[in-house]
Amino acid sequence: MSAPLFTLGQLAERLGATLRGAADKPINGLATLQEAGPDQLSFLANPQYRKFLADTRAGAVLLTPADAEGYAGDALLIDNPYLAYARLSHLFDRKPQAVPGQIHPSAVIAADAQVDPSASIGAYAVIESGAQIGPGVSIGAHCFIGARSVIGEGGWLAPRVTLYHDVKIGKRVVIQSGAVIGGEGFGFAKEQGAWQKIAQIGGVTIGDDVEIGANTTIDRGALSDTLIGNGVKLDNQIMIAHNVQVGDHTAMAACCGISGSAKIGKHCMLAGGVGLVGHIEICDGVFITGMTMVTRSITEPGAYSSGTAMQPAAEWKKSAARIRQLDDMARRLQQLEKRLAAVTSAGDASSDV
């Protein structure tokens, strides 16, 4: 399948951008400043890449008016080039599209499952009793949709997605391969040195316009549902434990681990490898930097970090040794402060005589 063809003028009109150059110039794709050819559109969003602008072969570049000064080539001028690139990327997306209403003969669908006539069901997919598949939903090959689970309008499941029973998915939700939604939470009670399993009888409820990355897992609730708000974006290989709540439009990068019953507010950002202990709350508008371990609630918006920055191994070993000495150093400092206070007090008393 050949890439779609547009003119520079058509793209400018779609974006509401100011056109500088030939409106009829054909644009046949998107590429970086370093790799773009004469029929491709590029963009400059990060100042670190400005050095490539002068020598780019791109047919046109998405630029802010300020960055366009001194650039002689064709351009689309817009305040946010990266957002403009994101919007145009869908025009050139070559991802195969499902055929509405097509159900592969090998799919296994329970007699009482409700599948909208416009939905697409891939090869060897399984849809269990009482499940509901909404309009325009695309279910990839080898997906499993458990009993009584619901997928809202416009949902897209890549191959090999697993939804356990009683999972509720909102509208326009994207779930990548290997994701498991509604698996049993890690719940056990100890009895005489042995672990007794606790039945996880809640479900998972996911809002509208959510994206869930490959091999990410979201456990079902122990009693009430695990909750994922509208517009949440989850990267690959994230673990969300039972009864976690994630607020609207929060985003998490890969390998985050969220322990049971933690509550994360709206419009938060968690960088890669962040970990949260259970039963804490993160307020709205919090940014947590990569590999941070959050061990207590955060009540004020802002950026938070833990751990130490990278340094040469030899220096890190010295720092680690000093960290182990901190408790002893603190005790000695307290003793010195007490002695100094005693000496100061004695001196003040003698001066009064």
Which residues does the annotation mark as catalytic?
A: 242
Give every CB contact of residue 303 below 8 A, 6+ residues apart in sequence.
Answer: 286, 287, 288, 289
Please state, in angstroms and rounded to a whole number, the distance separating the CA atoms of residues 344 and 135.
81
Residues 235, 258 contacting (CB under 8 angstroms)? no
Tokens (6 digits) for 203: 């479900």
Residues 229, 264 contacting (CB under 8 angstroms)? no
Give the 3-state secondary structure of residue 224. coil
Please state, in angstroms and rounded to a whole number, the distance separating the CA atoms of residues 251 and 272.
11
Give the 3-state secondary structure of residue 339. helix
* Long-range contacts from 86-89, C-beta under 8 angstroms, 24+ separation: 87/14, 87/15, 88/11, 88/14, 88/15, 88/30, 88/41, 89/30
326-351 and 313-324 helices, crossing angle to 10°: 50
Distances (CA, A) of 249 to 121, 153, 226, 264: 29, 19, 16, 11
Tokens (6 digits) for 115: 């599948």
The residues that bridge with 63 in the sheet, in sequence order, are 77
8-15 and 81-89 helices, crossing angle to 10°: 110
Phi-psi region of 240 (alpha: psi -120 to 50; beta: other; left: phi over 0): beta
**Cα 187 from chain centre:** 26
Please state, in angstroms and rounded to a whole number, the distance separating the CA atoms of residues 324 and 138.
55
- Which amino acid type is present at position 250? T
